[in-house]
A and B are shown apart, each in its own frame.
Chain A
Amino acid sequence: MSRALAAVLLLIVALGAGSPLAAAPVSEEVVNEVAAQLRCVVCQSLSVADSPSETAHQMKAIVRERLAAGESPEQVKAYFVEKYGLWILLAPPRQGFNLLVWVVPFVGLAAGLVLVVVLTRRWSRRAASAPVVARPDAAMRERILREMAEREP
């Protein structure tokens, strides 16, 4: 009886240790990756990974703890967003009004390139189609020669 109980207990322990939710080892790389995307709340434009402040250490510990509890990096970030708003993310998500930040620079660059191409083509076309000075005809040539001869002393 007691032996059977021990076997069952051993089995439970083994299953518990094998399940991914039971304090899976968390790589510091993943912790840092998540921390690098979170704003240290007491700093000026520093990430939780970069700040040496006590608060940043505490936030990093919370990230580590949540990852160890089986949460995905996205879930950990969502937790901080739920508490602090999108402000906590160093890079604004690519949606809604924030999309402007991601799109406008490239749109501006593209518009500038198009403008440069259009203007340079227009200028070169204008130069090519500019009226060429007509070759003087025979009468004109004769008149030029005559007037030049008259000017000779």
Chain B
Amino acid sequence: MSGRARVLRWAIPLAVVPVLVLLAYGFRTDPRVIPSPLVGKPASPFALTTFDGKPISLESLRGQVVVVNFWASWCIPACYDEAPSLERAWQTYRDRGVVLVGVNIQDKEEPARRFLDRFKHTFPNAPDPSGRVSVDYGVYGVPETFFIDRQGRVRFKQVGAVTDEIVKRHVETLLAEPA
């Protein structure tokens, strides 16, 4: 057997290796998990009017830890699962310099109000009828929750329902940082 033929005999099976590496990489990543480019960046300012008719803007909350939760009344079960945790977080942290803001997206007013009544949410909640805020935050589904530090930077993003533990972990981390 000539030297060239011997090389070919090895080269052909070895050519499979890069393909296997690529497949191994591809199958280990979840195509639905899309890292947000916003984490670490300044949070986009927003100015909305709550369901109670009060203005709320990110600018007015500067210096506080802000938790922005995007939700919809048709988002079953995730938004319903996390709703009690959000109200509990508000009750726990409102006196410690933490503000919760609910942003209702891709929804109608009536069912959204029913949702708020059902869970007796007392933190500010505002609709985003034009979808501008949700695009500014790169939201692609509900629920998504952003944790913003006192300097106004997005620090964590939770895709899917939050739990008491998740809220506590992120909020405590941001509260522990020097103001």
Please determine whether B131 and A55 come into contact, CB atoms closer than 8 angstroms. Answer: yes
Q: Which A residues are CB-close (under 8 A) to B134?
A: 58
Bitwise interface map of A from 79 to 93 toward B, beta carbon under 8 Å scored 1, else 0: 011111101000000
Q: How far is the CA of A81 from the CA of B61 in the complex (A)?
A: 27
Bitwise interface map of B from 122 to 159 toward A, beta carbon under 8 Å scored 1, else 0: 00000000111011111111000000000000000000
Please determine whether A59 and B37 come into contact, CB atoms closer than 8 angstroms. Answer: no
Q: Which B residues are CB-close (under 8 A) to A84?
A: 34, 37, 138, 140
Q: Which A residues are CB-close (under 8 A) to B38?
A: 83
> Which of A88-126 touch B at CB < 8 Å?
none
Measured CB to CB, the closest approach of chain B to A39, in angstroms, equals 9
Let me know if A41 is at the binding interface, CB within 8 A: yes
Please determine whether B131 and A59 come into contact, CB atoms closer than 8 angstroms. Answer: yes
Measured CB to CB, the closest approach of chain B to A17, in angstroms, equals 26
Bitwise interface map of A from 58 to 83 toward B, beta carbon under 8 Å scored 1, else 0: 11011000000000000000001111
Let me know if B57 is at the binding interface, CB within 8 A: no
Among B36, B106, B130, B131, residue most surrounded by chain A Cβ atoms (within 10 Å) = B131
Let me know if B35 is at the binding interface, CB within 8 A: yes
Let me know if A15 is at the binding interface, CB within 8 A: no
Q: How far is the CA of A84 from the CA of B159 in the complex (A)?
A: 13
Q: Which A residues are CB-close (under 8 A) to B34?
A: 84-85, 87
Q: Which B residues are CB-close (under 8 A) to A81?
A: 37
Q: Which B residues are CB-close (under 8 A) to A42?
A: 106, 140-141
Let me know if A54 is at the binding interface, CB within 8 A: yes
Please determine whether A82 and B135 come into contact, CB atoms closer than 8 angstroms. Answer: no
Contact of B37 among A54, A61, A85 (CB under 8 A): A85
Please determine whether A62 and B135 come into contact, CB atoms closer than 8 angstroms. Answer: yes
Q: Which residue from chain A places its CB closest to the CB of B128 in the assembled complex?
A: A58
Q: Which B residues are CB-close (under 8 A) to A54?
A: 106, 131
Q: Which residue from chain B places its CB closest to the CB of A83 in the assembled complex?
A: B138
Q: Which residue from chain B places its CB closest to the CB of A86 in the assembled complex?
A: B37
Q: How far is the CA of A84 from the CA of B37 in the complex (A)?
A: 6
Q: Which B residues are CB-close (under 8 A) to A85?
A: 34-37, 138
Say whether, besides A42-B141, A58-B131, A61-B130, A83 and B136 are in contact (CB < 8 Å): yes
Contact of A82 among B35, B37, B140, B141 (CB under 8 A): B37
Chain A residues with CB under 8 Å of chain B are: 41-42, 54-55, 58-59, 61-62, 80-85, 87
